[in-house]
Amino acid sequence: MSTSDSVGQNDLLIVGPGVLGRIVAEKWQKENPSCKIFGQTATTDNHRELAQIGIVSSLKGSRVDQKVPYVIFCAPPYHSDDYPEHLRVAASNWNGEGSFLFTSSTAVYDCSDNGLCSEDSPCMPIGRSPQADVLLKAENVVLEAGGCVLRLVGLYKMDRGPHVFWLSKGTLDVRPDHIISLIHYEDAASLAIAIMRKRLRGHVFVGCDNQPLSRQEIMDQVNRSSKFDTKFQGFTGTDGPLGKKMENSKTRAEIGWQPKYPSFTEFLGLRN
């Protein structure tokens, strides 16, 4: 990936410019019109499309000719044989100035009883969950490099998110009382940018809207909203693990951030 011109103070590398990464790119460009934005992807399939929105693309895992001041890694682990190694390569493309941010997941927290969790709640011990192990090892790579971690809850927008999947199924054999914490894609992007702007080192943050809902409450609101062509029929499960109620007042206080969409309810145009 060639950066033949000199590196700008706001140049950004996005590893995994998918839905979230593209929103980050759009917001970053508006704030920094003269910056260069680079993207690294698992395949070349979307490189032409990314070029049209101003992202200079290459394949994930490649090293840039010149390191950049801002790096955000938002590629999911399921496309990688060695996820922590991809984080090491991303760290090697950071010049140590601005910020290096990894968007992880609140799945690492050790809670499955609908209990309250925040930034400092205990994480799962290594060895209990393969999914959590991969994320925690990747987080450690980032933190050791001086980067920051943003653990995100369930991302959504009108046409993406758990509600869209459940609506497509009609009925599901899972518990209706399982608590889901949510954040809108735009809010996740604005929080990520706000964290990068702080240029902090070695911090862990949480991204959520502080209004957790049960699966049943989410789909009741979808049905009430009249914004979807079909109606959800219901959840039929009676056992299985529960979720967690994520809360991020510490992140909000430290970063000075508030979401555009304070809750899924308000996003749908309903009253809490």
pLDDT tens figures, 23-62: 999 999 999 999 998 988 877 777 777 777 777 777 776 6
CATH code for the domain of 121: 3.40.50.720
Distance CA 30, CA 258 (A): 19
Q: Structure pTM?
A: 0.94
pLDDT tens for each residue of 143-162: 999 999 999 999 999 999 99
Distance CA 187, CA 184 (A): 5
pLDDT tens for each residue of 176-202: 999 999 999 999 999 999 999 999 999
Is-contact 191 255, C-beta < 8 A? yes
6 located within any domain = no
Strands 115-117 and 154-156: unpaired
Domain ranges, residue 247: 12-268
State yes or no: pLDDT of 4 exceeds 60: no
Q: What is the mean pLDDT of residues 221-248?
A: 96
3 located within any domain = no
Q: What is the mean pLDDT of residues 232-246?
A: 96
Instruction: State the alpha helices, DSSP H only, in 62-184.
Output: 83-92, 130-144, 162-169
Tell me the β-bridge partners of 94.
Answer: 68
State yes or no: pLDDT of 127 exceeds 80: yes
Q: How confident is the model at residue 1 (pLDDT cuts 50, 70, 90)?
A: very low
How many folded domains does the chain comprise?
Answer: 1
7 located within any domain = no
Which pLDDT score is estimated for 200? 97
Q: What are the tokens at 44?
A: 């070349």
181 located within any domain = yes
Mean of per-residue pLDDT scores for the chain: 92
Is-contact 178 243, C-beta < 8 A? yes
48 located within any domain = yes
